[in-house]
């Protein structure tokens, strides 16, 4: 069965909504022409509505609609479809480069004699500044103020730039620092669930793409969303669709109810392990079944938040009555809540008890079998039952101790007292992350535990760095209203910032006496955090392991002071009478928690805090940002520089050319990730980036991170391919090193690239299988381009990074099955030609790779240009998506 344009006519309706007449696209009416839309998963129905609404016959075609109507749940390699989300959401680290590109596009448009106002986001964009606040100060009443002052001192240039962008771009809003974490702000305020477009008086499902992997959190309230890289987001911002492979959908039927003492954190850590074992990578997970009624919306968003940790594209809870209750609780207008309910019921997207679609795979998960857990020491899916935690972590500690000749301890001199720091000590205890601080059950629970602990005379151990970083200012309000903040503060859990902090490694320094004790005796210390990621080395370089736990257990471990504790049989401490106090003595019941939630977590809190969400504090309001359509770039800035992607752009793209006389920059193995390629983390003192900063008067203590300097391409390109774990087989030295030919000198990748560029020599990279796996990182592709790499030749590519290379004008070329750079006998000193480009390109064209060795021997192999569709061919012809969009918007009147 096929559809015609005429068939689409019945889908569009004029609907009398609670807020007036609106145009809608009722995909349920496809049933009238024989398509069983009611058997499709809701996530597929949402994608279907999007392609139907955006059908134009050119970008979105009838075959895209048919592919979703005929969705095959078992298909392994289905086609791609163009997806246009309702809106975008950015965090500041990833958002700054996007805004810089927009500003540079305006410069280029003005230089070409056109109106720079044509460069604007074409979909609504919200940027939330939450990624840079660091826990420098903790355990004191003014920790928040002091950390905020430092944040502005470190990031002033970025903030001035973003403030300018807020004033000059339409469709672009900035949530200033100190307002909350991007994903919690999203679920509590930004998310509409049903989006009403005032420009054309239409309504459709709210969908969102975000430049952060945990954008999936919003799927917990029925808003289909997931994370993408900066380049994909930039394309969508400029009106291009996001191309996605039609997903498989895994149904997870929830049954049962959580037991007393089980938290939302326990549920998500159990689900993470459960789904990791079932390989849901690249698939959408949908939760359904009677058990979802046992999970209020704040529990659901906790589960959806960690979709990247269990590998799914996203984890969707369809909208039901509990979703509507959450919208009301968080202060949404009643008329809008009614619109959400009526619209979703009208078009068949509202969850009902008889929901049993056809899934690609189906699993059952029993909530009643969930037990309290922690996860670690380095991955979120390494679940450890709490009752077995002591035995498990003790084994790890003993293994480490045996590897260095025995257990270690060290005396920590804290001035007024001395403490013995032993292997297994908890050095960091952080209530942090959007995953858990969006959930009042675990926050109120942590506050009640603190109250009971203080009343019994307990205190956190003096070597523990404690912090509380809520994802929303509402959290502080309801903890204060409940009378719990003073008790959290008595245990050192003062508010340190409203941002990601410890969860993304912005832990700040440990107190020097503690750091000194750890360094001197190599003490095995750990971090315990209520976050979503605990990858090795992520939280702090001085801790050997990091464990994910509920906020309540974070408090418990801070009291115990060590990770190797048996909470059932060992006390957290002793009361003033010498009586032992156990975890069970201070653990609150769910009825206690719910009683406080009912009286303190009320709509008025959300309405009050979000009434001024786009207005900053005195630090933000005091920033003097430039005005005008064009940004006044500061040539002395080391944070924000005009990107070079539009330098010397011409009205028409130059003719395609073969790649001739290229040198090999890197010979790489299998599974090179974007973490290997993209600059991230701290800036090493001996790196090209550090040299650049020092030459401009930046002191090492002011280096900040690559993430904070993503708006400066000069810093970022110097960090490309510099990861200490990168192995370039041209040199016997790990890290960002290579050989410059023909002189054979070993130097950094950046130094070699600069020398090759000065010599007019193009570059290629050879790699193995799954090149570019891992997270989508825009600077993995941008740095590749700026280093002068014209092509990456690999055995296979990860999908998103391959697409990003095309978007930046770098040609991905796939070697034929069974052929590798090793089988070709490459050592890195060869000259490479790529033939067949200039005669014309089409999707997946075969090109000739000619390799000439120093002795004159020539080898040739045919390989596939991984331009997978006509759109990608067009991007490559223009030198990437950015020049393509500039020419399309500014020089072709939008056609």
Position 78 scores a pLDDT of: 65
- Which contacts of 643-646 are long-range, i.e. CB under 8 A and separated by 24 or more positions? 643/97, 643/100, 643/101, 643/104, 643/713, 644/713, 644/786, 645/101, 645/104, 645/880, 645/882, 645/883, 646/104, 646/105, 646/107, 646/108, 646/882, 646/883, 646/886
| Residue-range domains of the chain with CATH | 5-78 (no CATH), 378-601 (3.30.499.10), 659-678+720-877 (3.20.19.10)
Per-residue pLDDT, averaged over 646-671, amounts to 95
Please report, rounded to a whole number, the percentage of residues in the chain having pLDDT higher than 70. 99
Q: Which of 23-32, 71-80, 646-655 has the highest mean pLDDT?
A: 23-32
Q: Which residue has the higher pLDDT, 583 or 675?
A: 583
Asked if pLDDT for residue 574 goes beyond 70, the answer is: yes
What is the model's pLDDT at position 77? Answer: 59
**SS3 letters for 63-88?**
HHHHHHHCCCCCCCCCCEEEECCCEE
DSSP notation for 351-396: --TT-----SEEEEEEGGG---EEE-SS-TT-EEEGGGHHHHHHHH
Q: What is the model's pLDDT at position 707?
A: 85
* pLDDT mean over 27-44: 96
Q: pLDDT tens, 58-73? A: 889 999 999 999 999 9
Quick one: which H or E segment has residue 474? helix 473-481
- Is the pLDDT assigned to residue 776 strictly greater than 80? no
Collapsing DSSP to helix, strand or coil, 805 comes out as helix
Give the pairing of strands 846-852 and 858-865: antiparallel
Whether 717 has a pLDDT exceeding 70, the answer reads: yes
The partner residues of 203 in beta bridges, in order of sequence, read: 196
Give the model's confidence band at 895: pLDDT under 50 very low, under 70 low, under 90 confident, else very high: very low
pLDDT, tens only, 124-162: 999 999 998 999 999 999 999 999 999 999 899 999 999
Which among 49, 116, 115, 35 is positioned nearest to 84, based on CA atoms? 49
Q: Which of 310, 242, 286 is nearest to 800 (CA)?
A: 242
What are the tens digits of pLDDT across the range 202-237?
999 999 999 999 999 999 999 999 999 888 899 899
Task: Determine contact, residues 371/385, Cβ cutoff 8 Å.
Answer: yes
**Mean residue pLDDT across the chain:** 95
* Pairing of β 425-431 and β 465-468: parallel
* Pairing relationship of beta strands 87-91 and 207-210 according to DSSP bridges: parallel
Confidence of residue 553 (pLDDT cuts 50, 70, 90): very high
More confident site: 881 or 893 = 881
Assessment of whether the complete model's pTM goes beyond 0.95: no
Return d(Cα 620, Cα 159) in angstroms, integer: 8
Secondary structure string (H, E, C) spanning 154-221? HHHHHHHHHHHHHHHCCCEEEECCCCECHHHHHHHHHCCCEEEECCCCEEEECEEEECCHHHHHHHHH
What's the rounded mean pLDDT across residues 274-288?
94
Q: Which helix (H) or strand (E) holds 583?
A: helix 583-586
3-class secondary structure, 860? strand
The pLDDT of residue 893 is above 60: no
Residue 682's DSSP bridge partners are 705
pLDDT of 894 reads 42
Q: Counting Cβ atoms within 10 Å, is residue 522 exposed (0-12), middle (13-18) or buried (19+)? A: middle
* Structure-block tokens of residue 112: 């070409």
Mean pLDDT, residues 795-802: 90
CB contact set of 60 (below 8 Å; sequence gap of 6+): 51, 54, 81, 82, 84, 241
């Amino acid at each position: 069965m096929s559809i015609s344009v005429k068939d689409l006519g019945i889908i569009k309706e004029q609907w009398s909504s609670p807020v007036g007449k609106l145009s809608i696209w009722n995909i349920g009416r496809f049933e009238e022409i024989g398509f069983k839309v009611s058997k499709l998963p809701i996530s597929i129905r949402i994608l279907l509505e999007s392609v139907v609404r955006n059908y134009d016959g050119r970008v979105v075609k009838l075959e895209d609609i048919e592919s979703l109507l005929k969705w095959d749940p078992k298909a392994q390699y289905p086609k791609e479809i163009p997806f246009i989300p309702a809106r975008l959401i950015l965090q500041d680290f990833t958002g700054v480069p996007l805004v810089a590109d927009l500003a540079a596009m305006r410069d280029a448009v003005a230089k070409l004699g056109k109106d720079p106002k044509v460069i604007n986001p074409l979909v609504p964009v919200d940027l939330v500044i939450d990624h840079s606040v660091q826990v420098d100060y903790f355990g004191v009443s003014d920790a928040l103020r002091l950390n905020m002052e430092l944040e502005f001192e470190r990031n002033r240039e970025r903030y001035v730039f973003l403030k300018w962008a807020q004033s000059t771009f339409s469709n672009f809003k900035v949530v200033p620092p100190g307002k909350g974490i991007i994903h919690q702000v999203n679920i509590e305020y930004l998310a509409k669930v049903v989006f009403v477009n005032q420009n054309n008086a239409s309504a459709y499902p709210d969908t969102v793409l975000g430049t952060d992997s945990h954008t999936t959190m919003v799927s917990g309230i029925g808003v289909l969303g997931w994370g993408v890289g900066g380049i994909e987001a930039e394309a969508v911002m400029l009106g291009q669709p996001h191309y996605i492979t039609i997903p498989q959908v895994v149904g997870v039927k929830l049954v049962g109810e959580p037991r007393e003492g089980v938290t939302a954190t326990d549920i998500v850590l159990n689900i993470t392990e459960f789904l990791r074992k079932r390989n849901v990578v690249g698939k959408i997970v949908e939760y359904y079944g009677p058990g979802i009624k046992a999970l209020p919306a704040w529990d659901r968003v906790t589960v959806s938040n960690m979709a990247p940790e269990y590998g799914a594209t996203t984890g969707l809870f369809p909208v039901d009555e509990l979703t509507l209750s959450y919208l009301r609780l968080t202060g949404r207008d009643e008329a809008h809540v009614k619109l959400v309910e009526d619209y979703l019921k009208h078009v068949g997207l509202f969850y009902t008890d008889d929901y049993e679609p056809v899934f690609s795979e189906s699993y059952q998960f029993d909530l009643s079998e969930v037990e309290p857990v922690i996860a670690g020491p380095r991955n979120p899916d390494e679940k450890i039952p709490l009752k077995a935690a002591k035995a498990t972590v003790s084994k790890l500690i003993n293994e480490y101790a045996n590897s260095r000749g025995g257990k270690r301890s060290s005396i920590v001199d804290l001035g007024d007292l001395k403490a013995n720091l032993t292997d297994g000590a908890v050095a960091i205890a952080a209530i942090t992350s959007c995953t858990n601080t969006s959930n009042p059950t675990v926050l109120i629970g942590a506050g009640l535990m603190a109250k009971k602990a203080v009343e019994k005379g307990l205190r956190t151990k003096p070597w523990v760095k404690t912090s509380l970083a809520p994802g929303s200012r509402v959290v502080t309000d309801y903890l204060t209203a409940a009378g719990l903040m003073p008790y959290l503060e008595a245990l050192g859990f003062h508010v340190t910032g409203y941002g990601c902090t410890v969860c993304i490694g912005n832990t700040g320094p440990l107190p020097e006496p503690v750091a000194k004790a750890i360094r001197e005796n190599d003490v095995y210390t750990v971090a315990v955090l209520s976050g979503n990621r605990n990858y090795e080395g992520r939280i702090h370089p001085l801790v050997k392991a990091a464990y994910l736990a509920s906020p309540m257990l974070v408090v418990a471990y801070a009291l115990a002071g060590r990770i190797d504790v048996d909470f059932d049989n060992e006390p957290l401490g002793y009361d003033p009478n010498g009586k032992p106090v156990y975890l069970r003595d201070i653990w609150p019941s769910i009825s206690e928690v719910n009683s406080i939630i009912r009286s303190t977590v009320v709509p008025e809190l959300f309405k009050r805090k979000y009434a001024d969400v786009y207005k900053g504090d005195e630090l933000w309001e005091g920033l003097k940002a430039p005005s005008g359509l064009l940004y006044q770039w500061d040539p002395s800035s080391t944070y924000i520089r005009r990107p070079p992607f539009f330098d010397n752009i011409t009205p028409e793209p130059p003719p395609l050319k073969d790649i001739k006389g290229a040198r090999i920059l890197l010979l790489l193995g299998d599974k090179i990730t974007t973490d290997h390629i993209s600059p991230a983390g701290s800036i090493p003192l001996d790196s090209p980036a550090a040299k650049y900063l020092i030459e401009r008067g930046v002191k090492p203590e002011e280096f900040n991170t690559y993430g904070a300097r993503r708006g400066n391409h000069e810093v970022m390109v110097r960090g490309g391919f510099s990861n200490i774990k990168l192995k370039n087989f041209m040199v016997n030295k790990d890290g960002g090193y290579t050989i410059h030919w023909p002189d054979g000198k070993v130097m950094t990748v950046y130094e070699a690239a600069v020398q090759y560029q000065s010599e007019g020599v193009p570059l290629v990279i050879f790699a193995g299988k799954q090149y570019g796996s891992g997270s989508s990182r825009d600077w993995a592709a941008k740095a590749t381009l700026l280093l002068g790499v014209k092509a990456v030749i690999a055995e296979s590519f990860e999908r998103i990074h391959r697409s990003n290379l095309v978007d930046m004008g770098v040609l991905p070329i796939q070697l034929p099955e069974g052929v590798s750079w090793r089988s070709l006998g490459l050592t890195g000193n060869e000259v490479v030609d790529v033939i067949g480009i200039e005669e014309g390109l089409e999707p997946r064209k075969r090109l000739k790779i000619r390799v000439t060795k120093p002795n004159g021997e020539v080898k040739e192999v045919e390989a596939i240009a991984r331009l997978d569709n006509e759109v990608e061919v067009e991007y490559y012809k223009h030198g990437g998506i950015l020049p393509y969009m500039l020419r399309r918007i500014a020089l072709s009147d939008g056609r």
